[in-house]
Structure 1
Amino acid sequence: MKHLLSMADLSHDEIMEILEMAEDLKEKRMRGKVTDLLKNKSLGMIFEKSSTRTRVSFEVGMADLGGHALYLNYRDLQIGRGETIADTAQVLSRYLAAITARVNNHSTVTELAKYSSIPVINALSDKEHPCQILADFLTIKEYKSHLKGLKLTWVGDGNNVCNSMILGCALMGMEIAVACPPGYEPDEDIVAQAREMGGNVLVTSDPLEAANDADVLYTDVWVSMGDEDERDKRLSDLEAYQINSRLVETAKNDVIVMHCLPAHRGEEISAEVMDGPHSVVFDEAENRLHAQKALILKLMA
């Protein structure tokens, strides 16, 4: 049995296997071919945080595969009234084929995994968001035909998605440059881990330096869930870290622009770029479905 709590839980070959499976599942779905590979299997989805893409993609993905997804709001579970994570994990393991959890603290998914006898998927924590990166890699592969040797530039807040992307790039042989203001850098331990894995990681405060010769430009919201009280400070600190036309012109001519959504046009990304010819954000959002279907199949197998 295998869990996915961090991008580092996967190997290069496993990621490629998931991407190839996702491409096949995407093509089958476009042709209307029915797949019931997970018939009579159920996925429990524990949500502490609100969601659009994560919830819909997992629910639709399970339905596409002939299975069933069960939405479990944290407040509706006994875990929200004092039952331990350990007890919850052991009980759910008797009912379900896998658990996915979108949580505030990374320790929640690690404890679920510790006591579960079924696979646990990190669908977002304060430390990482590996499911997003699988969809991102699928999108990049569709546009660039390969991953190894590409340069990805992250601009803005070095958050949980950025942490997972750093590890993912190290695994796939991609260079990553992260541009963020002081105090917004990615997790130091994640950066060190990626470098130990052989990753080429640059962390700088200069977005133009980071964007130079980039194949991919990537950003995320400046004010994430839970950071609302810091909104004014964050907008001020990150003002110079917008992906806009100037930054796009600094990258390669065929650069693609990515955003894991939701987006705030005029903040982390300009409307001109978000809706422009370099943007692949809606293909990226769709690929959450296909990548997660492949991931579920691999883990449930």
Structure 2
Amino acid sequence: MMNVKILEHYQKLQSQSLKGKDVLRVDEFTGEELSYLLQSALQLKEMQKNGHLYQPLKGKTLGMIFDKASTRTRVSFEVGMYQLGGLAMFMSGKELQLGRGEPISDTAKVLSRYVDAIMIRTYSHADVELLAEHASIPIINGLTDRFHPCQALADMLTILEHKGKLEGVKMAYLGDGNNVAASLVLAAAALGVEVRVATPKGYELEVEVAEQTKLLAAKSGAKVILTNDPQEASSGADVLYTDVWTSMGFEAENEIRMKAFADYQVNEQIAKLADPDHLFMHCLPAHRGEEVTAGVIDGPNSVVFDQAENRLHAQKAILAAVM
């Protein structure tokens, strides 16, 4: 049976309704809304850990469109919907009429008649924006070529749990200025985290993302350092974060990228520059010996599996809020 105080606390959180809102990129949410989602995730996580059944999404269905392979995204969304009392329906993009040329606009309108929200993991962010434009239900970005908002929320949740705060935490990201990096820095800047990004020349954050990060940081009082020097970014960092050097869709560039990113590996030397109690984070899957050494990712400062678990709780908060 649900603890009355826990339920009252959660319902108080839910009064800040985001019902019907799309989740395409994190900077479409205010810092206050992101904080609300994090607190909601913490509450839902506590409920689940204590065996309290809370199913606000009974009778609701989440349609899940996958054009890209997935482990964490598919499992966490399916389990999350089940725990919230709803149903998650897997749909391969290749098996839908989208794969035979049906317009995205038509698909959006049809699925809006069947399901209560759509989560899509695909290549083109523009396609997700088009889906959201024509759908009458919430659209959740499970990953595109430009953004990965659900991962960023889980990342902030993980830092909050381990550090007890977000404001003033120094986070260093080393590697490719990709979709994961983009959402990570936007969420961090909005929540007052000091952002340090070290990328090789030619692999920086998109200009629009970098400028938006600075604007969000100015509002929250956070600091932003964009550099090509991994040591500068890592010095005194509370969090070290990296991602694969070759994301899906860039496999043809793998050999070039291995050379370009060679000095950006998070290894024992880089870890020594960070605060002794730093967290090591990676969105997974990881390639040990490339972007990170086994000693770091499997070491005592690593929280990568807490991160992976928190995809479940962060996404449950999103689902409960928008559905």
User: SS at 1:112's partner residue?
Assistant: helix
The separation in 2 between residues aligned to 1:2 and 1:122, in whole angstroms, is 12
Select which of 265, 273, 276 maps to 1:250: 273
Q: Is the 8 A contact 1:149 1:174 kept in 2?
A: yes
- 2:257 is the alignment partner of 1:217: no
Deviation at 1:196, TM superposition (A): 2.1
Q: Which one is further off, 30-39 or 181-190?
A: 30-39
The separation in 2 between residues aligned to 1:73 and 1:188, in whole angstroms, is 33
Q: Which residue of 2 aligns with 1:22?
A: 41
The separation in 1 between residues aligned to 2:201 and 2:146, in whole angstroms, is 19
Q: Which residue of 1 aligns with 2:160?
A: 141
Deviation at 1:200, TM superposition (A): 2.7
Q: Which one is further off, 199-208 or 144-153?
A: 199-208
Q: Which residue of 1 aligns with 2:4?
A: none
Q: Which residue of 2 aligns with 1:283?
A: 306
Deviation at 1:253, TM superposition (A): 1.3
TM-score (norm 2): 0.91
Select which of 91, 114, 135 maps to 1:72: 91
Q: Is the 8 A contact 1:257 1:279 kept in 2?
A: yes
Q: Which residue of 1 aligns with 2:186?
A: 167
The separation in 2 between residues aligned to 1:137 and 1:43, in whole angstroms, is 24
- 2:230 is the alignment partner of 1:207: yes
- 2:85 is the alignment partner of 1:62: no
Q: Is the 8 A contact 1:223 1:234 kept in 2?
A: yes
Per-residue deviation, residues 101-125 of structure 1 (Å, max 9, x unmatched): 1110000110011001010011101
Structure 1: stretches of 5+ with no match in the other structure = none
Select which of 130, 137, 140 maps to 1:121: 140
User: How many percent of aligned residue pairs carry the same amino acid?
Assistant: 51
- 2:251 is the alignment partner of 1:232: no
Per-residue deviation, residues 168-191 of structure 1 (Å, max 9, x unmatched): 122101111111111110111111
Select which of 120, 139, 156 maps to 2:175: 156
The separation in 1 between residues aligned to 2:25 and 2:43, in whole angstroms, is 24
Q: Is the 8 A contact 2:119 2:142 kept in 1?
A: yes
RMSD of Structure 2 on Structure 1 (CA): 0.9
Select which of 179, 190, 194 maps to 2:198: 179
Deviation at 1:12, TM superposition (A): 1.0
Q: Which residue of 2 aligns with 1:99?
A: 118
* One-letter code aligned to 1:80: G
User: SS at 2:94's partner residue?
Assistant: helix
Deviation at 1:33, TM superposition (A): 1.9
The separation in 2 between residues aligned to 1:102 and 1:38, in whole angstroms, is 22
Q: Is the 8 A contact 1:4 1:122 kept in 2?
A: yes
The separation in 1 between residues aligned to 2:118 and 2:94, in whole angstroms, is 17
Q: Is the 8 A contact 1:166 1:201 kept in 2?
A: no
Q: Is the 8 A contact 1:191 1:201 kept in 2?
A: no
Deviation at 1:35, TM superposition (A): 1.9
TM-score (norm 1): 0.98
* One-letter code aligned to 1:42: T
Deviation at 1:36, TM superposition (A): 1.6
User: SS at 2:143's partner residue?
Assistant: coil
Per-residue deviation, residues 24-80 of structure 1 (Å, max 9, x unmatched): 111111122222210010001111100000000000000001100011100010011
* One-letter code aligned to 1:171: A
Q: Which residue of 1 aligns with 2:103?
A: 84
